[in-house]
Amino acid sequence: MSRPYVVGLTGSIGMGKSAVALMLRELGVPVFDADAAVHHLQGPGGELLPAIEAAFPGTTGPQGVKRQELGAQVFGDPEALKRLEAIVHPAVARMREAFMIEHMGEPLVVFDIPLLFEKGHGKDLDAVMVVSAPASVQRERVLARPGMTAEKFAHILSLQVPDAEKRARATHVIDTGVTLAETEAQVAALVAAIREKNPRR
């Protein structure tokens, strides 16, 4: 069995990446969710809790990582963030590798990585799929979220690679600024094209 064709899925906040990931799963595409992997590793009984507690005392408990406490120790401190990433990233990479082994022989596997460009995770990918929508649509979606403010939204955007740059660096762009049916059609066409070039082995 040979290695699947590996596509990284990414997109800025409010662009509809989660919806596209769901569409891919419904088409039978194995999708590795990097955020879900982190939550699993840091949740109740998570394997990273001892290492995180040792590096950042007082930030874990029976329910896993205390996000507010950990955030307070890491926010605005690049060195602390590097220490945390040195704990988390290798563990996520191991889970991703196990996922790949599990799905050997599949024509296509997708890695859902929110900060793909920001963290330089594109090295082992065959292609990158960027989910995009007009800025006005993005803003409307994000500001409709509970607890979101214009200031928070602006701060999040400042930490992300601009959408135009993501689109320029993408192999494939999925437009979610259209109807749901039109987005589903784009995703289905792309999956069909990749499967045709890379049949199940």
- CATH of region 1-30+108-196, choose from 3.30.365.10, 3.40.190.10, 3.20.20.60, 3.40.50.300: 3.40.50.300
17 marked as part of a ligand binding site: yes
58 marked as part of a ligand binding site: no
**CA-CA distances (angstroms) from residue 49 to 45, 77, 84, 143, 198?**
7, 20, 11, 33, 40
* Host H or E run for residue 60: strand 60-61
11 marked as part of a ligand binding site: no
Q: Say what the pLDDT of residue 48 is.
A: 95
* Residues with Cβ within 8 Å of residue 42, at least 6 apart in sequence: 48, 49, 52, 64, 65, 88
Q: Say what the pLDDT of residue 37 is.
A: 94
* Host H or E run for residue 189: helix 180-197
- Beta carbons within 10 angstroms of residue 132's beta carbon: 22
For 106, which DSSP code?
-
Q: Say what the pLDDT of residue 68 is.
A: 87
pLDDT tens digit string along 172-192?
Answer: 999 999 999 999 999 999 999
123 marked as part of a ligand binding site: no
Instruction: For the chain, give every domain's residue range.
Output: 1-30+108-196, 34-102
14 marked as part of a ligand binding site: yes
Q: Say what the pLDDT of residue 201 is.
A: 57
pLDDT under 70 in the chain at which residues?
1, 200-201
**CA-CA distances (angstroms) from residue 171 to 52, 166, 168?**
36, 10, 8
pLDDT tens digit string along 139-150?
Answer: 999 999 998 999
Distance CA 90, CA 134 (A): 35
Q: Say what the pLDDT of residue 78 is.
A: 84
19 marked as part of a ligand binding site: yes
* Residues with Cβ within 8 Å of residue 108, at least 6 apart in sequence: 4, 5, 7, 29, 30, 191, 194, 195, 198
**CA-CA distances (angstroms) from residue 141 to 15, 82, 116, 173?**
8, 31, 21, 19
**CA-CA distances (angstroms) from residue 127 to 6, 43, 55, 67?**
7, 31, 36, 33
